[in-house]
Structure 1
Amino acid sequence: MFRIRRVQDATWPGDARVIVQVQEILREQFPLLAPEDVAKLPEQLLNPLKYRFRTILFAAEGSGNRLKGFALFMHAPDLRFGYLDFMSAATMQTGGGVGGALYARVREEAKALELTGVFFECLPDDPDLCAAPSTLRQNKARLRFYERFGARPIVGTAYETPLKPEDTCPPYLVADLLGRNKPLRRRDAQKVARAVLERKYAGSCPPGYVEMVVASFEDDPVRIRDPRYVAPDADRSAAPTWPGGTVLHQDKSIALVVNDRHDIHHVHERGYVEAPVRIRSILKAIEPLGLFQRIKVRHFGEEHILAVHDRQLVEYIRRASALLKPGESVYPYVFPIRNSTKPPKELPVRAGYFCIDTFTPINHNAFLAAKRAVDCALTAAQALREGYRAAYALVRPPGHHAERRVFGGFCYFNSAAAAAQSLSRHGRVAVLDIDFHHGNGTQDIFARRPDVLTLSLHGHPRFAYPYFSGYEEEKGEGPGEGFNLNIALPETLDGEGYRQALTKALRRITKFAPRTLVVALGLDPAKGDPTGTWGLTARDFERNGRMIGELRLPTLVVQEGGYRIRSLGTNAKHFFVGLAAGLFSR
């Protein structure tokens, strides 16, 4: 099995690693390529205006993130065609189906972009143009490979004219019209030829040479060479098969990380709605979509929790949990309004020092389950760094009510905040909380940070938990002032009203221009949720997901609330269908 993904950003850790490997292959497989042409690859990805092509790099990776091959695809949006600049397998990786899978991905991209076709140069299989027998055999094999997909040379032009009299093996211009039964018009082919010669070979092809080649396209429509290696009536409706096994298109998949220990935190008490069935309901609905690739939870050090929570809080939850017997719970019931400096001796009584409500219990497994939820969120963040465009940490207990020094609202450690903190080492992060309840914990943790933008859409604190925070005048503190946005909404709200508020939040995110987006996903805005008062339907969740996806940011979704089991899975499914449609579309 290998995976194919689109490399987006030359400065993103996982992408930067791949680019270095691609440059190594270019030096090995194309020794005549100028060093400066190899070195410019990162800038090509970042600065399409300079090179007059939008560079798209696809990487095929095997186990251990080992690069097996790549395709460098140049998109000319102004002329609506694509040019395959390079495609190569790594050393000792040929014959494993990597090339076929990569070219199929290029064709898929070209179809999604609604391009006229994919064009590229290929050395000739004509003995009159290339006399060396060994080179001729390689050229024939290469053209046979592409002909399987329907790509064949354009004939009847002077494109194969050597630039210099001493040059040998001048390349064909090959056209892949992507299986469409539509002829290639002369004017379109001339635009392609001119763009390739002037943009790819800028400074190498004299204007007179370019004009001669372009003028030689006389047929309208242009002629494509008859099949030479594949039967003319062969079925090309599907991509050829290859022996490489399953191919995962990572850039169109959502990494799924599930808290495999969430069910150890099960409070068997009437009215406690934060139950394990929530996770099962969501999984049952989303896994058949085919959008998700499940990855294993990794273990992370406790320093990631301490980066967003006070050590006293962490130590208290650890020690109090360890003291309790399995099945035993302690609820806070005494709060230090008068004296917060002299905590009582007994840990159960001390719970009020660290908890903001009376319905979030400490039990034997609270610390372990909450720690594992943080590991899941950090694993999902790592998946973004390794090339996924989206990741979903499906966790319980939730975390967005956990502040730096206190817990509550079923939350112990703030998983979304820990992930945002981890991602912030690589650039600015926006945390968008779309739970029915205010994300007080995330706001508190990042209140003084200008590099992490926090936004929360929630029921107004006049009527909704946590009651004492979430007002619109709370905009951040000190250097973080202006980097917190609360949108407090009325008690009765439909999907249209919610989208108006979401549009405001998304505009603020766009202005902030973050490197990554963390979404604290609450499904409790749903109609009939026992903890909310709004009326959002499955279709509303799908529209909301699409709006968020259309930001086109690497997106980490962390599960928060949502307690109406009957509709929980359906709403989650529709949210991710919308997110994928917005994020993965072109």
Structure 2
Amino acid sequence: MFRIRLIHDDVLEADRVALTQVQSMLRAQFPGLRHETVDELPTLLRDPLAHRIRTFVFVAERQRQNDVRGFAILAHAPDLEFCYLDFISAAPKETGRGVGGALYERVREECRALGAKGLLFECLPDDPDDVSDPATLEQNRARLRFYERWGARPVIHTAYRTAIEPGGSTKDLPYLVFDDLGSGRPLGRDEAREIVRAILERKYAWLVTSEYVGRVVESIVDDPIELRPSRYRRKKVNAPSTPLPIDVPAHLRIPLLVAERHDVHHVRERGYVEAPVRIPVIKRELDRLPIFEPTQMRRFGREPIVAVHDDEFVDYLERVCAALPPKRSAYPYVFPVRNAGRMPDDLETRAGWYCIDTFTPLHKNVWLAATDAVDCALTGAAMILEGKARLAYALVRPPGHHAEHKSFGGFCYLNSAAIAAHHLGACAGGAKVAILDVDYHHGNGQQEIFWERGDVLTVSIHGHPRFAYPYFTGFEDEIGWGDGEGANLNLPLPEQVDGAAYDLALARALDAVRAFEPSFLVVCLGLDPGRGDPTGTWSLGASDFERNGRRIGALGVPTLVVQEGGYHTRNLGVHARHFFRGLWESATGRSLARADT
């Protein structure tokens, strides 16, 4: 069995290994290929529009061994809305086992999702008079027979097969093949001319002259273009006369991690806004978007937690929650301001040793809910590390960004985002990670945890600490210490902030992230900057959240979103839906229907 996976870049070790295998197969199976074409493949992925063409690499690999059994390289020209299949090949021992067909189906699926007018590619000729070596004739026929299963056939009545050198041989010059992707819509003459010009100028700039390009382009006179009559099949397969419905492909969906037992953490005191209803309110709105894939949470145990939090602090949380009777909450009420040298023996009294406020209670189910939130975030991180997703969302509660190395508070007990960020960097060989906190309140937890580390950038946009919780942190002059100096950026804003003012702060935050050049991004998604939130004073609306998501998605960095605050349940879900619409559309280059607005 094999899986087909889309490789976006060479950040992850698994992707670097796969790309190396693809390059080796290119050299072995296409011996006449220019060295530059093979060597620049990782660069094309990192800088997708450098040549006005975005490159996609698909690999068919055995799931356990990460052994590439076939690959396809697809180019997308967004300005002309067409796709070009550069290469598709199966490993020698995989020919005839369905690898090529599965890859081509996957490529067509991608083209439809991109909104392409069609897919074009080259195929060597299958007429004996056009082939110099009769031994290759049957191979050429087999390839064209293969593509004709999907209705793809050579374009005729053009000079595409003209020799580059005047008077040169036309032997072995390729056909240009067109696949309408099942739409039944042919290319018009003007469309075809633009596309052929782009193919020759962008793909063969090193080889062809402008005179040659003009001669080939002007030879396209049929309107619409004509394809060679079917030679191998009488009837097209998978090519209905009406367009196929375009669904979001599975590989582009966002894994949605929801801790189903989050609601066991329920503080029923009047005015306690961090309530279980927050999760279904958000999820109900997200269900209106076709971009999410509900995903089962995995268990990661204690080790990732104590890699970020103090071991004694973690032990205390677990022990005190286990010891508390059902339906009873223990609030911190005595704090070691004058004498922090002696810890009280009583577990409930000791809460003040570890907590930073008086309104974050402990009860029997806190540990269960908080560790489930951590496991959701870690599952999303793992899916990104495994190359299964570029975006993942941990829709969790309780939130975590106020939890520091050995303290809890602000409704937060364990810092899920910080734990996931450390995990991403550590599992990727020390890769750099950026945390962007867009909650109304300062992300003091990750600031303190990574204060002396330069491998994790922490950025927070929040209400100024002179009026907003947690009051004692979040000032602009807090920039980190030691190795972490300069790796912490605070952007405190005034009490009244609208979308335009927020745009300026977000621009500074994103500039800092770009300059840091992280391999991964963790977004602490607070929805409390929204208008009417009981814990905030700002007035962002749905369009502002969508714009924020769009600008974050444009970073093009593998991104884990972890839910933090946001408590106005009337608009909470709407704001989340708009944020993710913008994030997904920007990150994928796709567009969603607006019917759910």
Answer whether TM exceeds 0.5 for this pair. Answer: yes
The answer for the alignment partner of 1:343 in structure 2 is 343
Amino acid paired to 2:482: G
Deviates more, 1:101-110 or 1:354-363: 101-110
The answer to whether the aligner puts 1:450 opposite 2:454 as a matched pair is yes
Amino acid paired to 1:383: M
Q: Is the 8 A contact 2:440 2:536 kept in 1?
A: yes
Deviates more, 1:267-276 or 1:86-95: 86-95
Question: How many residues are treated as equivalent by the alignment?
Answer: 568
From 453, 456, 465, the equivalent of 2:469 is: 465
Superposed CA deviations along residues 20-53 of structure 1, whole A, max 9, x for unmatched, are: 564576588x476779676764455347799996
Q: Is the 8 A contact 2:523 2:562 kept in 1?
A: yes
Following superposition, the deviation at residue 480 of structure 1 comes to 1.5
The answer to whether the aligner puts 1:493 opposite 2:500 as a matched pair is no
The answer to whether the aligner puts 1:585 opposite 2:589 as a matched pair is yes
Deviates more, 1:288-297 or 1:12-21: 12-21
The answer for the alignment partner of 1:293 in structure 2 is 293
Following superposition, the deviation at residue 70 of structure 1 comes to 3.6
The change in CA–CA distance for 1:97 and 1:257 in structure 2 (over 3 A counts) is farther
The answer for the alignment partner of 1:410 in structure 2 is 411
Q: Distance in 2 between matches of 1:271 and 1:356?
A: 19
The answer for the alignment partner of 1:192 in structure 2 is 199
Deviates more, 1:71-80 or 1:333-342: 71-80
The answer for the alignment partner of 1:87 in structure 2 is 88
Following superposition, the deviation at residue 198 of structure 1 comes to 5.2
Q: Secondary structure at the match of 2:570?
A: helix
Q: Is the 8 A contact 1:110 1:118 kept in 2?
A: no
Q: Is the 8 A contact 1:356 1:408 kept in 2?
A: yes
From 220, 243, 263, the equivalent of 1:238 is: 243
Superposed CA deviations along residues 81-129 of structure 1, whole A, max 9, x for unmatched, are: 65311124562641896245323235336646xx8x6432113333443
Q: Distance in 1 between matches of 2:77 and 2:468?
A: 51
Q: Secondary structure at the match of 1:57?
A: strand
From 515, 518, 525, the equivalent of 1:514 is: 518
Following superposition, the deviation at residue 410 of structure 1 comes to 0.9
Q: Distance in 2 between matches of 1:360 and 1:103?
A: 51
Following superposition, the deviation at residue 523 of structure 1 comes to 1.1
The answer for the alignment partner of 2:159 in structure 1 is 157
TM-score by length of 1: 0.85
Query: Unaligned regions of 5+ residues in structure 1, if any?
Result: none
The answer for the alignment partner of 2:595 in structure 1 is none
Q: Is the 8 A contact 2:162 2:216 kept in 1?
A: no
The change in CA–CA distance for 1:96 and 1:52 in structure 2 (over 3 A counts) is closer
Q: Is the 8 A contact 1:68 1:93 kept in 2?
A: no
Following superposition, the deviation at residue 19 of structure 1 comes to 2.8
Q: Secondary structure at the match of 1:121?
A: strand
The answer for the alignment partner of 1:476 in structure 2 is 480
The change in CA–CA distance for 1:268 and 1:302 in structure 2 (over 3 A counts) is same
Q: Distance in 2 between matches of 1:348 and 1:317?
A: 11
Following superposition, the deviation at residue 76 of structure 1 comes to 6.5
Following superposition, the deviation at residue 559 of structure 1 comes to 0.4
Following superposition, the deviation at residue 177 of structure 1 comes to 7.0
The change in CA–CA distance for 1:469 and 1:281 in structure 2 (over 3 A counts) is same
Q: Is the 8 A contact 2:58 2:71 kept in 1?
A: yes
Amino acid paired to 2:524: A
Deviates more, 1:316-325 or 1:348-357: 316-325
Superposed CA deviations along residues 242-266 of structure 1, whole A, max 9, x for unmatched, are: xxxx98341x321111112212222
From 519, 528, 533, the equivalent of 2:532 is: 528
The answer for the alignment partner of 1:383 in structure 2 is 383
Q: Is the 8 A contact 1:472 1:488 kept in 2?
A: yes
Superposed CA deviations along residues 514-548 of structure 1, whole A, max 9, x for unmatched, are: 22211101111222222122222222222222222
Following superposition, the deviation at residue 219 of structure 1 comes to 2.5
Q: Distance in 1 between matches of 2:525 and 2:52?
A: 39
Deviates more, 1:354-363 or 1:417-426: 417-426
Amino acid paired to 2:263: D
Q: Is the 8 A contact 2:355 2:407 kept in 1?
A: yes
Q: Secondary structure at the match of 1:576?
A: helix
Deviates more, 1:287-296 or 1:499-508: 499-508
TM-score by length of 2: 0.83
Amino acid paired to 2:154: R
Following superposition, the deviation at residue 353 of structure 1 comes to 0.6
Q: Secondary structure at the match of 2:540?
A: coil
Q: Is the 8 A contact 2:437 2:459 kept in 1?
A: yes
Deviates more, 1:410-419 or 1:47-56: 47-56
Q: Distance in 2 between matches of 1:125 and 1:253?
A: 40
CA RMSD in angstroms comes to 3.7
Q: Is the 8 A contact 2:416 2:562 kept in 1?
A: yes
The answer to whether the aligner puts 1:183 opposite 2:189 as a matched pair is yes
Superposed CA deviations along residues 478-522 of structure 1, whole A, max 9, x for unmatched, are: 222222111112222222222222222222222222222111011
From 169, 174, 178, the equivalent of 1:171 is: 174
The answer for the alignment partner of 1:19 in structure 2 is 19
Q: Secondary structure at the match of 2:348?
A: helix
Deviates more, 1:263-272 or 1:335-344: 263-272
From 555, 567, 574, the equivalent of 2:571 is: 567
The change in CA–CA distance for 1:294 and 1:21 in structure 2 (over 3 A counts) is farther
Amino acid paired to 2:188: K
Superposed CA deviations along residues 447-506 of structure 1, whole A, max 9, x for unmatched, are: 112221111111111221111111122121222222211111222222222222222222
The answer to whether the aligner puts 1:366 opposite 2:366 as a matched pair is yes
Amino acid paired to 2:159: T
Q: Is the 8 A contact 2:393 2:560 kept in 1?
A: yes
The change in CA–CA distance for 1:219 and 1:41 in structure 2 (over 3 A counts) is closer
* Percent of aligned positions that are identical: 48
The change in CA–CA distance for 1:520 and 1:2 in structure 2 (over 3 A counts) is farther
